[in-house]
């Protein structure tokens, strides 16, 4: 990696024009810190190409000058992947001007979009043609298609539709030397060798810049029933998934879990939210069944399933949304959790996954161990229980200082990751590694897997100019 010379900045400016290169400190500043304010870096300039050709030119110029690039979309990532390091010698490449929907074809059930298109705009374009693009995240109003691909994002629809990897048909990528790989096919079947798109999905920008993607569409599901339920324990949430599937099969499109402590934060910090029941419960679930217009009586299915759940003691209270507004307010209780943690001071995030049946034992074990490490530490447990994915986040004990809490971060996270590892889980279910979990990856990922990942990185980016320092712990 070389320092960025004035000559390089001048050539980038002549390639991109004045709107394409930001260097004034006030213009650059918002790109140097992540959404939470948890990761900060420095950069001399922000590059804002307006199309694939411009991305290719920028990458080639930087490659020839030995300058490293950090791709950035909506900057909503949760592990520092989109933020440059503190050297000031990396440049941020923002895809924010590449917002074109190139094609939306309901007959082919596909949509082809540029990397800077915001997720909500893709959902809307699909809806405008009577289709569904099912990826759904709390950050969908800001995160971009490039970002959700580079992190292989998940969210609340994974149970039925899969993660971003499962929703992708083809990619267009600018490689680290500036060449463009046009893999933008919409084919459902193509067995002509290695499926290269999967290298770039989830690579967090370390192998190339995604400039466009062809994505799958699904039938719209205007029929939806939504319920908020109370449960005595995590084991009930696991049993509920099986029960819901027995009754509703593939109509089950969301099954989310929240602890009382997570709900408390939303009620305290998210304007307009309300206590869902008269009394407090230990655990809550948000479930949704959905279907195209003509099929299935979802109300009756839900009623029968909930009846069985009450009989078996899995559910102790329930409210079914009676209107779109009520549905929205139930979802606000779930989607507000991530943001509601911020006013409580630093939050230690652990985005873990486990075999679904082991979730109750994990919650019991991790809770016991953490109480030994830091008595009173607040466990903000919630997540996509149907995918075995918990956001097992920690906030400081009431009355503790931020500094005292952060000083224990290594020990606390280590205790959680040890429990995850003992139970054959993963230390990142959906947010990725970035810089935040890079050292944990060294400890908890198989060394053979890390060697293979380094070999892929060397093959595609031998000069280490694509988002250096992210994902891979130094050998």
Interface ranges with ligand FAD (CB under 6 A): 35, 70-78, 81-82, 95, 115, 137-139, 143-144, 146-148, 150-151, 153-155, 204-205, 209-210, 338-339, 430-431, 434, 467, 470
Report the partner that residue 391 touches, choosing among ligand FAD, ligand 2HG, none (CB closer than 5 to 8 A by kind). ligand 2HG
Name beta bridge partners: 92. Answer: 46, 70
Residue nearest to ligand 2HG (CB): 338
CB 349 to ligand 2HG: min, Å: 4
End-to-end CA distance of the chain: 18
Nearer to ligand 2HG, 253 or 338 (CB): 338
Please state at what angle helix 234-248 crosses helix 359-373, rounded to 10 degrees. Answer: 160
- Whether residue 192 contacts residue 253, with contact meaning beta carbons closer than 8 Å, is answered with no
Q: Identify what 205 binds: ligand FAD, ligand 2HG, none; CB under 5 to 8 Å per kind.
A: ligand FAD
**CA–CA gap between residue 360 and residue 113 (Å, rounded):** 41
Which residues are CB-neighbours of 391 under 8 A, at least 6 positions away? 337, 338, 349, 350, 351, 380, 381, 382, 383
Question: What, of ligand FAD, ligand 2HG, none, does residue 437 touch, CB below 5 to 8 Å by kind?
Answer: none
Query: CA 66 to CA 454: how far, in whole Å?
Result: 20
Q: Which one of ligand FAD, ligand 2HG, none is in contact with 84 (Cβ closer than 5 to 8 A by kind)?
A: none
The Cα 108–Cα 235 span in angstroms is 41
Least distance between ligand 2HG and beta carbon 339 (Å): 8
How far is C-alpha 346 from the geometric centre of its chain's CA atoms? Answer: 19
> Tokens representing 405?
């809490």
Q: Which is nearer to ligand FAD, 72 or 253 (CB)?
A: 72
In the complex with ligand FAD, which residue's Cβ is closer, 52 or 226?
52
Q: Which does 148 bind (CB under 5 to 8 A by kind): ligand FAD, ligand 2HG, none?
A: ligand FAD
Nearest Cα neighbor of 331 from 79, 136, 151 is: 136
Looking at beta carbons only, is 35 or 228 nearer to ligand FAD? 35
Which single residue brings its beta carbon nearest to ligand FAD? 147
| Cα→Cα distances 213→49, 104, 185, 201, 466, Å | 17, 12, 9, 11, 19
Taking CB within 5 to 8 Å according to partner kind, which of ligand 2HG, ligand FAD, none is near residue 210? ligand FAD
Our CB check for ligand FAD shows the closer of 45 and 374 to be 45
Q: Enumerate binding residues for ligand 2HG (CB under 6 A).
A: 78, 138, 337-338, 349, 383, 391, 393, 430
Closest contact distance (angstroms) between CB of 174 and ligand FAD is 9
Total number of residues shown for the chain: 475
């Amino acid at each position: 990696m070389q320092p960025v010379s004035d000559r390089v900045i001048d050539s980038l400016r002549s390639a991109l024009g004045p709107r394409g290169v930001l260097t004034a400190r006030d213009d650059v500043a918002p790109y140097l810190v992540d959404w939470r304010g948890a990761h900060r870096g420095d950069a001399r300039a922000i590059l804002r190409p307006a199309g694939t050709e411009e991305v290719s030119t920028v990458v080639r110029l930087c490659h020839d000058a030995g300058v490293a690039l950090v791709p950035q979309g909506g900057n909503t990532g949760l592990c520092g992947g989109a933020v440059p390091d503190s050297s000031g010698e990396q440049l941020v490449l923002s895809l924010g001007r590449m917002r074109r929907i190139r094609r939306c074809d309901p007959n082919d059930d596909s949509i082809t979009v540029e990397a800077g298109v915001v997720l909500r705009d893709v959902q809307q374009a699909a809806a405008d043609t009577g289709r569904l693009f099912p990826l759904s995240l709390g950050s969908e109003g800001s995160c971009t298609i490039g970002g959700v691909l580079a992190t292989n994002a998940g969210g609340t629809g994974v149970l039925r539709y899969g993660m971003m990897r499962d929703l992708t048909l083809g990619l267009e990528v600018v490689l680290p030397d500036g060449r463009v790989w046009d893999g933008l096919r919409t084919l459902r079947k193509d067995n002509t060798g290695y499926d290269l798109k999967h290298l770039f999905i989830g690579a967090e920008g370390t192998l190339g810049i995604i400039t466009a993607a062809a994505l799958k569409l699904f039938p719209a599901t205007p029929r939806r029933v939504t319920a908020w339920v109370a449960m005595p324990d995590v084991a009930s949430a696991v049993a509920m998934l099986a029960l819901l599937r027995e009754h509703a099969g593939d109509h089950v499109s969301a099954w989310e879990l929240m602890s009382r402590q997570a709900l408390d934060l939303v009620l305290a910090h998210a304007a307009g939210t309300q206590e869902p029941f008269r009394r407090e419960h230990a655990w809550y679930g948000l479930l949704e069944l959905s279907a195209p217009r003509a099929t299935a009586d979802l109300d009756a299915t839900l009623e029968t399933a909930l009846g069985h759940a009450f009989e078996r003691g899995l559910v102790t209270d329930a409210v079914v949304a009676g209107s779109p507004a009520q549905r929205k307010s139930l979802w606000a209780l779930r989607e507000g959790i991530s943001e509601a943690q911020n006013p409580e001071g630093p939050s230690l995030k652990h985005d873990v996954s486990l075999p679904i049946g082991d979730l109750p034992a994990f919650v019991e074990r991790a809770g016991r161990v953490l109480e030994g490490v830091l008595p009173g530490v607040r466990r903000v447990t919630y997540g996509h229980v149907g995918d075995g994915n918990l956001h097992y986040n920690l906030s400081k004990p009431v009355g503790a200082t931020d500094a005292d809490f952060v000083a224990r971060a290594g020990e606390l996270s280590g205790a959680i990751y040890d429990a995850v590892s003992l139970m054959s889980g993963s230390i990142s279910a959906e947010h990725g590694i970035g810089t935040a979990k890079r050292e944990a990856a060294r400890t908890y990922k198989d060394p053979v897997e890390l060697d293979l990942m380094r070999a892929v990185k060397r093959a595609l980016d031998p000069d280490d100019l694509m988002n250096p320092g992210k994902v891979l712990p130094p050998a």
